[in-house]
Amino acid sequence: MAIIEANGVRKSYAGRPVVDGVSFAVDEGEIFGILGPNGAGKTTTVECVAGLRVPDAGTVRVAGLDPVADRDRVTGLLGTQLQESELQTKITVREALDLYSAFYPRPADWRPLAERLGLDAKLDTRFHRLSGGQKQRLSIALALVGRPRVVILDELTTGLDPRARRDTWQLIEDVRNGGVTVVLVTHFMEEAQRLCDRIAVIDRGRVVALDTPDGLVAGADGSTVISFTPSEPLPEAELAGLPGAVAYETEGGRVVINGTDETVNAVISLLARLRVTAHRLRVSEATLDDAFLDLTGPADGPGRTERAA
Ligand SMILES: Nc1ncnc2c1ncn2[C@@H]1O[C@H](COP(=O)(O)OP(=O)(O)OP(=O)(O)O)[C@@H](O)[C@H]1O
């Protein structure tokens, strides 16, 4: 059952649409990822879900409630960790956790949470004395302290060192295993691949793909990558004519082809027909990175539709 529903959400700044008809539904208990280039409209979208921005058009429902009209009830069930959240500079970690706990009817005991996030030694440190990574961990703790049913995490692990990042992933998996729905905005493909059940890819304010991580990879053009070093150069015309191939390149004598299973078979037949030996033949699957690049345009360049036109 969907716990978040966004339908045709639009938001413009100074007449420029940055969220341009976004629709998606997040099922209760899933980790739902939102990926997209810088400036694609991800934060604006989740801010509309959290009721922090009012959409110009479209509807948002969180557990059936309107985040703007039913603000108090939605705040009670939704935790948010938004990009670069700032707190009052003099507040200590302990005070911040106590303060946020007081906002909720049945807060979690924040001590184990603080320990889990490596903040137990910093409880009496003032906010402005925390490092970037410690501020980030505190904002995650504050998002979780109210025992939310839904938590929105925007750039969850930005600024964390590799160990803290992995510990945080484990924490998020545990949170989800406790029945909490997680919306995760991220730029880290490894994070998205590891954590997310489904991912919406947003480009220029629109959802350009919505699938499981594996589904996104399988749907990318040229999701099978074939590479080898031929014993002698292969004719360009033969490479260009391979069925299912969407791209090929030869660099330093090594041939790399993006295609499909059909392309793999055609390459093997071609090599046999030309009596060419393939050294270090490798067939691998494209990554979520490849799928992302295939689906989205550069931050300041054309989107996929414009590129295809
Ligand atoms: N309050 C605002 N006033 C005017 N423009 C804004 C405002 N907030 C965001 N924008 C612009 O809207 C666009 C979308 O911003 P948003 O923060 O939603 O993107 P994003 O996908 O989260 O980007 P990033 O990955 O860089 O965080 C950007 O061009 C941004 O400059």
In this structure, the residue with its CA closest to atom 31 of ligand 1 is: 39
Q: How crowded is residue 240: how many other Cβ atoms within 10 Å of its Cβ? A: 9
Category of 50 on φ-ψ map: left (φ > 0), alpha (ψ -120 to 50) or beta? alpha
- Tens of pLDDT along the chain (309 residues)? 899 999 999 999 999 999 999 999 999 999 999 999 999 999 999 999 999 999 999 999 999 999 999 998 998 899 988 766 678 889 999 999 999 999 888 898 999 999 988 899 999 999 999 988 888 889 889 999 999 999 999 988 887 888 888 888 988 998 899 899 999 999 888 899 999 999 999 999 999 999 999 999 888 777 899 999 999 999 999 999 999 998 899 988 999 998 988 999 999 999 999 999 999 999 998 888 888 888 886 555 444 444 443
What pLDDT sits at residue 298?
A: 59
- Beta strands at 224-230 and 254-259: parallel, antiparallel or unpaired: antiparallel
* Ligand 1 atom nearest 83 alpha carbon: 27
Residue of 9, 12, 42, 46 to mutate, ligand 1, most atoms within 8 A of C-beta: 42
* 41 Cα: distance to centroid of ligand 1 (angstroms): 6
Tokens representing 71?
């603000």
> 45-59 in b/e burial notation, b at 16+ Cβ within 10 A?
bbbbbbbbbebeebe
Cβ atoms of residues 93 and 100 within 8 Å: no
What pLDDT sits at residue 307?
A: 41
Residue of 12, 13, 19 to mutate, ligand 1, most atoms within 8 A of C-beta: 13
User: ipTM of this predicted complex?
Assistant: 0.96
What pLDDT sits at residue 20?
A: 95
In this structure, the residue with its CA closest to atom 8 of ligand 1 is: 44
Phi, psi of 107 (to 5 degrees): -70, 160
List helix spans (H) across 131-285. Answer: 132-144, 162-177, 189-195, 213-219, 236-240, 261-274
* 40 Cα: distance to centroid of ligand 1 (angstroms): 7
In this structure, the residue with its CA closest to atom 5 of ligand 1 is: 13
Cβ atoms of residues 197 and 32 within 8 Å: yes
In this structure, the residue with its CA closest to atom 7 of ligand 1 is: 13
84 touches ligand 1 (CB under 6 Å): no
204 touches ligand 1 (CB under 6 Å): no
